[in-house]
Amino acid sequence: MKKICNKCHAEYPATLEFFYAKGKGRLCSSCKWCCQEYSRQYRKTHKGQQRVYDRQRYQTLGGRLHRVYYGLDQRTTNPDHPRYKDWGGRGIRNNFKDFKAFYDYVVNELRITTIESLRGLQIHRINNDSHYMPGNIVFLTRAEHNAAHQEINRLKKLSR
| The pLDDT value given to residue 58 | 77
Contact, 91 vs 77, CB < 8 A?
Answer: no
Confidence (pTM): 0.64
Task: Give the three-class secondary structure for 125.
Answer: strand
DSSP one-letter string for 30-94: EEHHHHHHHHHHHIIIIIHHHHHHHHHHHTSHHHHHHHHHHHHHHHHH-TTSTTGGGTGGGT--B
* Kind of pairing between the strands at 121-125 and 27-31: unpaired
pLDDT tens sequence for the chain (160 residues): 899 999 999 999 988 888 888 877 788 889 999 989 888 887 777 766 666 666 777 788 999 999 999 999 999 999 999 999 999 999 999 999 999 999 999 999 999 999 999 999 999 999 988 999 999 999 999 999 999 888 877 777 777 6
